[in-house]
Amino acid sequence: MSVDGASFNLDVVPSRPRRVKYVRTVSQISEIPEDQKALLEQVAQRYVFRANDYYLKLIDWSDPDDPIKQLIIPRVEELEDFGKLDASDEGTHTVSRGVQHKYADTVLLLCNEVCGAYCRYCFRKRLFMDDNDETTHDVSEGLAYIRRHHEVTDVLLTGGDPLIMSSRRLREIIFELSKIPHVRIIRIGTKMPAFNPYRVLDDPDLQELFRRYSTSDCRIYLMAHFDHPRELTEPAIEGIMLLTRLGVQTVNQCPVIRGVNDDAAVLAEMFETLSTIGCPQYYLFQCRPTSGNAAYEIPIVRSFQLFDEARRRVSGLSRRARFVLSHATGKVEVLGIDSRRMYCRYHRAKNAADEGRLMLFKRDDEAYWLDQLVSCS
């Protein structure tokens, strides 16, 4: 195959694309005991459920605590009263429908409200609810906004998952962005390499799009979302390696989730494998206290300890990740914790005056979120 005069081997593309089969109700999953199905359907009425046969096959059903199962199968604890639907007040950064502008250089286009499957702990689960209007398929206003705002160098396509959109639609958006001279980075936030790696492996149009539009003037970054090393299957790794060959820079970001990856050995294994395949961990997030997430949360101190221990087990290149809280006021990095204090810094700040500001809090082993911490004055 030749694109823009360059030849490269895409012999991984089969003659017919491998398609996953979507599963939209818990009742369709034969491994779930009959007596649990009605209750779990109730949970799915509140927080939508969707999976696919490829991802469901990763579950070890003989293990009641299987991490992949915890990630994707509803749990009755989701009905407990907990948190806020929009825990980081993302809605307050909306400048027009589907357009969020929080940090001067970065604009988010929420261009799609569907994902390849739904993570139970999702911080954007509100977008999948019927009455939500924070996303839009029509990005024309967003593009006009970016054209007017010359300080915007980075655009993040998100949602939902942009790779659920057709390659034609994605191409239209990326083509328009590529014509805006001040846009230097186009990021695609996606869990498709984990949920359905064939989306990348089997679509020559998508591959050509990446090859053509990820250039030295405007680089495409794929912000992958692997939560557990078991998601790094052979096709998932092939997908990441292919993206690299196509000129896409891949990095990984994910939260620490109770029952999924709250284990330093698991995180370390994932960081090492990701570095080896060229998709290093970028951020490890504190899970946002989002509605329905009581069963998935871990206190900040414990999350940081797991992160710190995982980092100690890996080599230098796997240690570059930061542990952060995506707070309404900015990305707050936890730098260290001792017996009495928590040392934090604004890695990104909504208010430019806060950029880089150090903060000292009293250590609180029960706190889940920044708002619960008490400042050391």
CB 225 within 8 A of CB 234: no
Looking up tokens 């604004």, which residue turns up?
A: 346
Between 66 and 227, whose beta carbon lies closer to ligand SF4? 227
Cα–Cα distance list, 301 to 4, 255, 269, 319 (Å): 50, 14, 21, 19
Q: Pick the piece of the chain touching ligand SF4 (CB under 6 A) from 117-125, 179-187, 306-314, 364-372.
A: 117-125
Beta-ladder partners of 281: 252
101 touches ligand SF4 by CB under 6 A: no
Question: How far from chain centre, in Å, is Cα 353?
Answer: 28
Classify residue 160 as left (phi > 0), alpha (psi -120 to 50) or beta: left
- Least distance (Å) from ligand SF4 to the CB of residue 124? 5
Build a one-symbol-per-residue string for 176-195: x at contacts with ligand SF4 by CB under 6 A, - elsewhere: ---------------x----
Q: Which residues within the stretch 46-65 sit at the binding site for ligand SF4 (CB under 6 A)? A: none
211 touches ligand SF4 by CB under 6 A: no
CB 221 within 8 A of CB 187: yes
Build a one-symbol-per-residue string for 290-319: x at contacts with ligand SF4 by CB under 6 A, - elsewhere: ------------------------------
- H/E element, 362: strand 358-362
Using CB under 6 A, pick the residue from 122, 139, 248, 251 that binds ligand SF4.
Answer: 122
- Least distance (Å) from ligand SF4 to the CB of residue 28? 19
- Least distance (Å) from ligand SF4 to the CB of residue 44? 13
- H/E element, 96: strand 94-96
3-state SS class at 157: strand
**How far apart (Å, rounded) are the C-alpha atoms in residues 75 and 242?**
35
Between 115 and 246, whose beta carbon lies closer to ligand SF4? 115
Contacts with ligand SF4: how many residues (CB under 6 A)?
8
- Least distance (Å) from ligand SF4 to the CB of residue 48? 9
- Least distance (Å) from ligand SF4 to the CB of residue 117? 7
**Contacts of 181 by beta carbon, 8 Å cutoff, 6+ apart:** none
- Least distance (Å) from ligand SF4 to the CB of residue 105? 22
- Least distance (Å) from ligand SF4 to the CB of residue 18? 20
Q: Pick the piece of the chain touching ligand SF4 (CB under 6 A) from 36-44, 79-87, 116-124, 341-349.
A: 116-124
199 touches ligand SF4 by CB under 6 A: no
Label the pairing between strands 341-349 and 358-362. antiparallel
- Least distance (Å) from ligand SF4 to the CB of residue 237? 19
Label the pairing between strands 6-7 and 2-3. antiparallel
- Least distance (Å) from ligand SF4 to the CB of residue 36? 22
Q: Pick the piece of the chain touching ligand SF4 (CB under 6 A) from 62-70, 113-121, 275-283, 322-330.
A: 113-121
* Range list of H helices, the chain: 34-46, 53-56, 67-72, 140-148, 167-178, 192-195, 198-201, 204-213, 234-245, 264-276, 300-312
Helices 300-312 and 264-276 meet at what angle, rounded to 10? 50
225 touches ligand SF4 by CB under 6 A: yes
Q: Pick the piece of the chain touching ligand SF4 (CB under 6 A) from 40-48, 74-82, 112-120, 275-283.
A: 112-120
272 touches ligand SF4 by CB under 6 A: no
CA angle 107, 113, 115 (to 5 degrees): 105
Using CB under 6 A, pick the residue from 75, 101, 102, 124 that binds ligand SF4.
Answer: 124
Q: Which residues bind ligand SF4 (CB under 6 A)?
A: 115, 118-119, 122, 124, 161, 191, 225
